[in-house]
Every structure is written in C-alpha cells, then in structure tokens.
Chains A and B, each alone.
Chain A
Amino acid sequence: MNLRQLRQRASALGPAVVVGASGFALWEGAVRAFGISEFLLPKPTSIGAELLAEWPVLRHAGWETGQIAVSGLLIGILAGVLLAMFTTRFRMLNEGLTPLAVAVNATPIVALAPIFNAWFGITGTLSNQAVVIAVVFFPVFINTAKGLTEVHPDEIELMRSYAAGEWTIMREVRVPNALPFFANALRVVAPLSVIAAIVAEYFGGPQDRIGNVITSSAGFARYDVAWAAIAVASAVGLALFAAALLVERVSMPWRLAVGGSDSNNNPGREK
C-alpha cells in the first residue's frame, strides 16, 4: 500500500470518526442536561473512568473471554471446514446433512448454554467453549459446503479433460471456489464467537470473565463497571472482525486486484 492509498484510506475513515465522536458528545451532553441517573445510563466519561480504575480486572476478564472465543472459533472453523470437505466428496451425505445443518443453524444455539453446563460441567471452561464451537460450526459448515459444491460444470469437465482426479479437483477448483463463501461466514462468526462466549458465561463457568463481570456489576448496581466491561467485549469482537477481514484479503489477492472486495459481499462468481 503506497502513501496515496494510505491517505485515501485515512480520509475514508474521517466521517466514521466524526460521527462516532459526536455520538459520544451527544450522549455525554444528554445525560448531563436531562440529569439521567447513572444507574440508567452512565456518562461516557464515567465509563471511561471505570475502565481505567478497573483495568486490571477488565483486562484479565477480556483476555480470558477472548481466549474462549478464539479457541472455540478456531475449533468450530476447523470442524466446519473439514466436515464440508468430507461431505462434498460424498454427495449423498451432503444432500442429507445440509438441510439438517440449516435447520439446526436456525435454532438459537446459545439457548443451549445451561444444558451444556450439565453436560460439560459448570465450573470449567469446557461448556462455554462448547457453546462457541456450536455457534461457529454451522454457518462455517453450510457456507463452505455451498462454495465447494457450487462450481461451474464446465470447470469440472475441464479438469476431467486433464484426467484430474477428485482430490486434484478439490485442491485446484473447489477449495479456491469456496474461499469467498468461507470468508463471508468468517465475517459473521468472528464477532459472533465473542457474543456466544459472553452469553455462555452468564450461565456458568469461572467467575473472572466478561460475562460474569457484567452480571455481578449489574447485580451490585455498578452499571458504569458493566458498561466498561461491555466496551472491552466490543473491542475484542472488533479485533476478531478485523482479523477476519485480514484473512479475507490475504487469502484472496485476486479479489483485491479486481477491486471492490470490501463492498462486494457476494461470493458468487460471474459466469
């Protein structure tokens, strides 16, 4: 990226910075002007002060929750991709499993958190991790399987005309074809993994995590601390989303060359 592009990128961020800053100013001003009590809506400055005061606790909680989110994310992605590749090789399995996966994906999996506590224990991190894995797995599996199978028939015939076997077709055609589909799933599940981890923490697990900090602070009417914990959680979610975008850019240089990879969210290719 050269200097000109960097400057363009920075100036493109300008409006977002202005809108964000005015939003905070408006919030601060409204709370002060209307005398809204702190336990209903703390001022951004109070939240900032708590963020600093409680930083060691929040940093630790963010780190621990982030670890659950990231490890669950990685395991869920790996499982989803591997199963998608496996079912693609066996069409019957794919046709049987995909509608089932779509149905399961439509059910609110975080609602299973209390049940996972019973299965995997309420004190350890395993049940929280299992919630994240379950939430991540289905979108990754469904999208990747779609990308692996929705290949133009001419491209398969072309590969067969080269006497290419199934594995070569998988490597040279199906996997790269599935990358944009996978990237779309990644954009969704990266922030979702943080949400899943926190919701799971509401129901159990160790007590030094973001989810527990939020519930216990709210329980003691320390809403400013709860908001500070939420700020940490959204920072973790944003970081994971940024990582997803980075993976997308690095893995698909051809999309950048053609242009519009950020605005063009459609994984399908022009035929």
Chain B
Amino acid sequence: MSTGADTPAVQVDDVDMVFNEGSGGEVAALSGINLTIRAGEFVTLIGPSGCGKSTFLRLVADLLTPTAGSISVFGQSAHESRTGQDYGMVFQHAGLFDWRKVKANIELPLELRGWSKADRAARSAEMLDLVKLDEFGDLYPRQLSGGMQQRVSIARALSFEPRLLLMDEPFGALDEMTREHMQSELLRIWGETGTTVVFVTHSISEAAFLSNRVIVLSPRPGRVHSIIDVDLGERTPDTREDPDFFTAATTIREALRSVGGAV
C-alpha cells in the first residue's frame, strides 16, 4: 500500500449505485462514475436535485456500499478508511450534540479514539482557535448562532487531522452574508491544514469561489457530465467581483443548463 504524494485522495472506478435493488422500487442513483481526486485538492460536486451528489459523498464515506465498482481513499478501501477514521464529515445540519459543551463536541471523535483528557483539551483549544471561537468552548451549542455551530462542526471534523474532509452542503442553511464569510474561513482553514476537501453544493457561486475543480453531475441516474477547472489564484473578498470569477460561474451555469433539471 502506497500513500505517497502520487496516491490519489479518492479514486472512484466504474461505480454504480442502485437503491432497493431487486425490489419493485429500484432507483438508479449513480451510474458509471469514474473520478480521481488528488491529495490536497478542493473539489466541488454540483448538479440538479436528485443527481446523487450526497449519495456519492456517502459512498466515499462508506456509509453506503456501491452496487458495482470500487472506491479507494488514500490507497485503502472506503471501508478501511472509515474504520481507520481517515476522513471527517460535515453535514448541512451541524449535528452538534445539545448535551455536550462546544469543546466536548469537538473532542468527541478524539474521545472515541481513546485520547487522554489533556491531549483532547489541548487539541480542542487549538481547533477553537482555528475556527476563531476561542471564547465559546464552555457554552452549549444551542447558545451559538447557526454559522458558529457550523464552524464548531468543521472544527470537530478536523480535530483528528483527517487527510480528507467530506462536506455535504454545509452552508446550505446559512444566510448569504454568513455563507460568504464561512466560505472564506473554510478556504483559510484548507490553506492552513492542507486537507483534501470534497464539497457538495447546489450554489454556483459557492462552487466557483471555493474549488480547484467543479464536477457537474447529470441527474437520474447521476453521471459525470463535465469537469471544470477553476483557476482564480488566491481567493480574497475581491475575487467575488473578479471577471474571471464570473467567467467560471458562467461556465458552470452553462454546464448545468445543458444537464437540465432544477438545481
């Protein structure tokens, strides 16, 4: 097993996913997916509702098993990757536990891995600093705003330094201003940690702003329609007003139009 620089973060070969296979209500969610995501990349999946974006993420996470084909994460099977806790996951619903204080939420994956109390405390402090919530460790999640909760959720996903971060529409429930702020924060964190990110969204501007590559999926069954490289250099707030940013967004929009279906 090689995990050198050349080993892709995620390698997907000929993956099909059919739900309810063999019963009357078969649903083909994904068909013939081939994809290589390089280590350190920021890749966004975009497509109309029902194109299987979230299903794809759950296959990589080994929360679902593909009907056909294979998925490897850093050279290991998706299953080995999950049991080895190789990736962190962030959902649209922040999914923080009400009964745990903010820092205890961040420490949960560390607790499950048997870290000592002192090590956990040191790491959660570090993570709170990373997401700029140093003051809030001793509060309960419900005492924080939606954007802050999602930052805690990201801190939790990164607490054990996974090489891969899977994000399923993490900013979907946030208002526009908070969302833009969170996007910049995520890029800063990505820059600081060097983690590979696979990000699912249905926002064109979000995809253009965040990613190195945008993967456009077509619906029912989901297939890779096109892969769009986005090269905007280092992102700043001004990037959003850059002509290149609009060009990238337009390219993505046109790809989505040719795919059809409601985004």
Interface residues of A (CB under 8 A from B): 152, 154-155, 157-158, 160-164, 168, 172-173, 176, 179, 252, 254, 257-258, 269-271
Contact = CB atoms under 8 A, between A and B. Distances in A.
Contacts of A258: 98, 140, 142-143
B140 to A, nearest CB: 4
Contacts of A163: 82-85, 112
A20 B93 CA distance: 47
A152 B112 contact: no
B93 A173 contact: no
Nearest to B82: A163
B99 A179 contact: yes
B50 interface: no
Nearest to A163: B83
B95 A152 contact: yes
Contacts of B85: 161-163
B97 interface: yes
B112 A154 contact: no
A158 B87 CA distance: 11
Nearest to A161: B89
Interface in B5-60: 58
A254 B87 contact: no
B39 to A, nearest CB: 20
B82 A252 contact: no
Contact of A162 (B93, B97, B101, B112): B112
21 contacts: A152-B93, A154-B91, A154-B92, A154-B95, A155-B97, A157-B61, A157-B63, A157-B91, A160-B82, A161-B61, A161-B63, A161-B82, A161-B85, A162-B108, A163-B84, A163-B112, A168-B112, A172-B97, A176-B97, A254-B101, A254-B140
Interface of B: 58, 61, 63, 82-85, 87-89, 91-93, 95, 97-101, 108-109, 112, 139-140, 142-143
A176 B99 contact: yes
Given A157-B58, A254-B100, A257-B143, 16 more contacts: A152-B95, A154-B95, A155-B95, A157-B63, A158-B89, A161-B63, A161-B82, A162-B85, A162-B112, A163-B82, A173-B97, A254-B99, A254-B142, A257-B139, A258-B142, A271-B93
A163 B63 CA distance: 10
Contacts, number: 61
Contacts of B82: 160-161, 163
Contact of B99 (A158, A168, A252, A271): A252
By Cβ-Cβ distance, the 9 closest A-B pairs, closest first, are A176-B99, A254-B140, A258-B142, A154-B91, A163-B83, A161-B89, A154-B95, A257-B140, A154-B93
A252 B99 CA distance: 7
A31 to B, nearest CB: 51
Contacts of B101: 254
B112 A158 contact: no
A68 to B, nearest CB: 34
Nearest to A258: B142
Contacts of B98: 176, 254, 258, 269
A179 B91 CA distance: 24
Given A254-B99, A254-B142, A258-B143, A164 B89 contact: no
A270 B145 CA distance: 13
Contacts of A168: 112
A160 B63 contact: yes
A110 B181 CA distance: 61
Contacts of B93: 152, 154, 271
Contacts of A179: 99
Contacts of B95: 152, 154-155, 158
Contact of A161 (B87, B92, B99, B142): B87
Nearest to A158: B95
A172 B143 contact: no
Contacts of B89: 157-158, 161
Nearest to B63: A157
B21 to A, nearest CB: 21
Given A155-B95, A254-B99, A172 B61 contact: no
Report which residue of B83, B97, B99 has the largest number of chain A beta carbons within 10 angstroms of its beta carbon.
B99
A155 B88 CA distance: 13
Contacts of A160: 63, 82
